[in-house]
């Protein structure tokens, strides 16, 4: 899946979030507006939604996005689908910055 010009394998991204949650659970994964989410909280939300999405035959991508929105509710207040999709793409690119062998994009923050 391509986000912000970067191809990200969502299963690989979810696994990386899980690994980071085990190693550095309190490290900030995403900061958007006043919302701050740690790798532990994001991993727990994805896992929780994963149970639901599995039961209904939905992908892990859906669990990731539901978990992210659960942890970063200010994402729902972005006006316009194009702008919201752009922000989500930037967050995915940030989280997957070290995946895929391209050395990352060195994105510092998502505002």
pLDDT class of 49 with cuts at 50, 70, 90: very high
* Full-model pTM: 0.81
H or E element in which residue 30 lies: strand 28-32
Q: Which residues contact 92 (CB under 8 A, 6 or more apart)?
A: 1, 3, 4, 6, 8, 13
- Give the confidence band of 101 by pLDDT, cuts at 50, 70, 90: low
The one-character DSSP state at 92 is: H
pLDDT given at position 98 = 87
Residue 105 has pLDDT above 70, yes or no: no
The DSSP call for residue 105 is -
């Amino acid at each position: 899946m391509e986000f912000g010009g970067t191809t990200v394998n969502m299963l690989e991204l979810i696994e990386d979030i899980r690994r980071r949650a085990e190693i550095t659970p309190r490290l900030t994964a995403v900061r958007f507006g006043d919302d701050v989410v740690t790798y532990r909280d994001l991993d727990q939300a994805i896992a929780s939604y994963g149970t639901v999405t599995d039961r209904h035959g939905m992908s892990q991508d859906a669990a990731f996005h539901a978990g992210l929105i659960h942890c970063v509710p200010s994402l729902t207040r972005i006006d316009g689908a194009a702008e919201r999709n752009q922000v989500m793409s930037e967050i995915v690119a940030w989280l997957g910055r070290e995946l895929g062998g391209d050395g990352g994009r060195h994105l510092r923050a998502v505002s």
